[in-house]
Structure 1
Amino acid sequence: MTTLEIKTIEKSFQENFVLNNLSLQVNDGEFVSILGPSGSGKSTLFHLIGGLYRPDRGDILLDGQSIIGKRGSISYMPQTPSLFPWRTVLENVLLGQELKGKKNKKEAINMMERVGLKGFENAFPHQLSGGMKQRAAFVRAMLSPQTFLCLDEPFSALDEFTRLDMQKWLLSIWEEDRSSVLFVTHNIEEALFLSDRILVLSRRPATVQKEFHVPFSRPRKEEILLTEEFLQWKTKIYKELSQYV
């Protein structure tokens, strides 16, 4: 069981007040997305969860234990792949497990095959396309031993079709073990397709302004993207979000 609780977090950098009384919860096995205007503090929130920053006020609890200032408590996938150029793709994928003292090479190879990287185990990052690098970073995050996963706009740099493929791969793999996920995106359609709940942040200093419970059943199929109900929900969330742009 893995739950995350963020309680009345505040964070500022000198005169720049970023987060104000921000609270949220991600339940065990839940996929929660965060939408908000550019510069609203979404990445700052992830840095707080990951222990890179400390809040000025409030607490961050993982399974009931405070993780403020503690690195290595979560698995994290940033906007860019951040692969080490001197390591092979397989070695990059295994990095999270390696840092925790255990490697499962067979599992890594199997997951690489699932995301279309079969045959590239011994290649180096410069030999991969942008989409393939993102897939490698995604596998690395999924294989990390931490049970809570933070994804920070991981597909934002991809073209529309590659992005949809990555979303479907993410869902197919996530469906197997239902890790708890906090996902940051600027894309309303992506948030609706992936999530159980969507949280909308206000402008800075950001707080949770609105919560939407996504009504679509799982497993999700891409056909729902073209339904009238999906469009209605997209419009509803767009109207909420547009107040803070």
Structure 2
Amino acid sequence: MSLLTVKNLTKQFGNNPVIQHLSFSINEGEFVSILGPSGSGKSTLFHLIGGILSPNTGSIQLADQEITGNRGHISYMPQTPSLLPWRTVLQNVLLGQELHGKKDKEKAKEMLQIAGLEQYIDAFPHELSGGMKQRAAFIRALQSPQPVICLDEPFSALDELTRLDMQKWLLSIWEEYRRTILFITHNIEEALFLSDRIIILSNKPANVKDDFLVPFDRPRSEELLLQEDFLHWKKKVHFSLKGSD
């Protein structure tokens, strides 16, 4: 059963159409990545799903609830960690819960321990490395009560080795909690390594060009990145994406 359904979504700014007749759905517990050319409307799509923007036409449903143009129904993590500098790591992680009238400190501490941040619970964001900030921001998203987490290129600012470490860490956390994730990335390897499905957007006005089911078994390790089948799929997604330009 579909958890999130986007139907015939269209969005334009003035005379500039960005998204046109875009439809897809994701199931509960699914990890879905969205790839598309630069400027194809991927972040705009997230803003529509999150209710920050309203579409010109179309609808967005969460389970059986219409959420088009309404905020507060999804958990959103932008490209930068966006931790509040005056709050400790633990206080930042609890923020999403507090906004919904909840607070489970013990669960938050447990997840921070799993994330390797146990010693930094009372630290402030300026005391953390870039990877630590991203882990804290993801734990905050994971702790929020909304059923869908939207991640907008969360690792794009990290160096290659730190990025791979974060991908492996994200997979380990996701394997344990199986939250529904919609993930924007420009990196084909990242999408293949992390995802159950990859949705390819066309150039703007964006619609769905391809929808690939990723065939690799879970759990996954970094050795997968060097396997022949992985390289075959990397080429397949590359040529689909290239045809979207």
Q: TM-score, with normalisation over the residues of structure 2?
A: 0.97
User: SS state of the match for residue 24, structure 2?
Assistant: strand
What CA deviation, in whole Å up to 9, does each residue of 1:72-99 have, x standing for no partner?
A: 1011111000111111111001100111
Which piece of structure 1 moves more, 111-120 or 36-45? 111-120
Asked if structure 2 preserves the Cα contact closer than 8 Å seen for 1:36 and 1:203, the reply is yes
Gaps of at least 5 residues in structure 2 are: none
In the alignment of these two chains, the number of paired residues is 245
Return the alpha-carbon distance in structure 1 between the equivalents of residues 84 and 127 of structure 2: 13
State the Cα distance separating 1:177 from its structure 2 match.
2.7
State the Cα distance separating 1:155 from its structure 2 match.
0.8
Structure 2 match to 1:244: 244
What CA deviation, in whole Å up to 9, does each residue of 1:42-69 have, x standing for no partner?
A: 0000000001000000000000211012
- The 5 Å alignment of 1:180-219 reads 180-219=180-219
User: SS state of the match for residue 244, structure 1?
Assistant: coil
Return the alpha-carbon distance in structure 1 between the equivalents of residues 219 and 197 of structure 2: 15
State the Cα distance separating 1:146 from its structure 2 match.
0.8
What CA deviation, in whole Å up to 9, does each residue of 1:159-186 have, x standing for no partner?
A: 1111111111211111123211111100
User: SS state of the match for residue 3, structure 1?
Assistant: strand
State the Cα distance separating 1:244 from its structure 2 match.
2.4
Gap change, CA 1:150 and 1:13, over 3 Å in 2: same
State the Cα distance separating 1:221 from its structure 2 match.
1.6
Asked if structure 1 preserves the Cα contact closer than 8 Å seen for 2:209 and 2:244, the reply is no
Which piece of structure 1 moves more, 187-196 or 161-170? 161-170
Q: TM-score, with normalisation over the residues of structure 1?
A: 0.97
Return the alpha-carbon distance in structure 1 between the equivalents of residues 178 and 132 of structure 2: 24
Amino acid at match of 1:232: H
Structure 1 match to 2:152: 152
Return the alpha-carbon distance in structure 2 between the equivalents of residues 152 and 9 of structure 1: 19
Amino acid at match of 1:11: K
What CA deviation, in whole Å up to 9, does each residue of 1:187-209 have, x standing for no partner?
A: 00000001111011010100000
Return the alpha-carbon distance in structure 1 between the equivalents of residues 177 and 116 of structure 2: 20
Amino acid at match of 2:22: L
Structure 2 match to 1:95: 95
User: SS state of the match for residue 59, structure 2?
Assistant: strand
Structure 2 match to 1:60: 60
Give the share of equivalent positions with the same residue, in percent: 65
State the Cα distance separating 1:106 from its structure 2 match.
1.2
CA root-mean-square deviation: 1.1
What CA deviation, in whole Å up to 9, does each residue of 1:15-61 have, x standing for no partner?
A: 11000000011011111110001110000000000010000000000
Structure 1 match to 2:141: 141
Consecutive aligned runs of 4 or more in structure 1 exceeding 6 Å deviation: none
State the Cα distance separating 1:2 from its structure 2 match.
6.6
Verify: 1:120 aligned to 2:120, yes or no.
Answer: yes
Structure 2 match to 1:18: 18
Asked if structure 2 preserves the Cα contact closer than 8 Å seen for 1:2 and 1:147, the reply is no
Which piece of structure 1 moves more, 226-235 or 63-72? 63-72
Structure 1 match to 2:77: 77
Amino acid at match of 1:176: E
Asked if structure 2 preserves the Cα contact closer than 8 Å seen for 1:150 and 1:181, the reply is yes
Amino acid at match of 2:126: H
User: SS state of the match for residue 22, structure 1?
Assistant: strand
Structure 2 match to 1:165: 165
